[in-house]
Amino acid sequence: MRLSTKGQYAVRAMVSLVCHANGGPITLKDISDSEGISLAYLEQLFVKLRRGNIVKSVRGPGGGYVLARPASEIKVGEVITVVEESLNPVACLDGDPSVCAKANKCVTQRVWKGLADKIKEFLDSITIENLSREANQLSVGKGKQVEAEV
């Protein structure tokens, strides 16, 4: 099972937003340049992040994006859930479990549900603030500008 680039890039972009914004809006172009992520791809991700109430846009000169709420309240799992279709390890967990013809006699469904729960629990235990703090500590240790490598 692999996380798609949507989730990976969205988390990297959020960390970059926090690390480089200095309290003000940051443009997608700036994030694109610092993270090496295509501007067009970031635009698609930020539409979803805005709809998910994770970021908000600031229009006009000096505009860009800011967090919709404090970084300490934004969990990595939430960012990934907003941009990904599903993080479930098997398709039968994506919707109504009764849709699966074997749901009532499937002995492995409990395993896949448990795995999905552990993945969610782990991703929800980390905030964007946690990652931003780590990124800043790494940059201070190396004496370089912060580049979020998540």
User: Domain spans of the chain?
Assistant: 5-84+127-142
User: What would the CATH number be for the domain defined by 5-84+127-142?
Assistant: 1.10.10.10
Question: Do residues 83 and 49 make contact, with C-beta atoms less than 8 angstroms apart?
Answer: yes
- Residue 38, token pair as written in the block: 């295509």
Q: What predicted TM-score, i.e. pTM, was given to this entire model?
A: 0.84
Per-residue pLDDT tens digits for 29-67: 999 999 999 999 999 999 999 999 999 999 988 889 999
Say whether pLDDT at 146 is over 60.
Answer: no
Tell the residue number behind the tokens 């908000």, with chain if given: 56
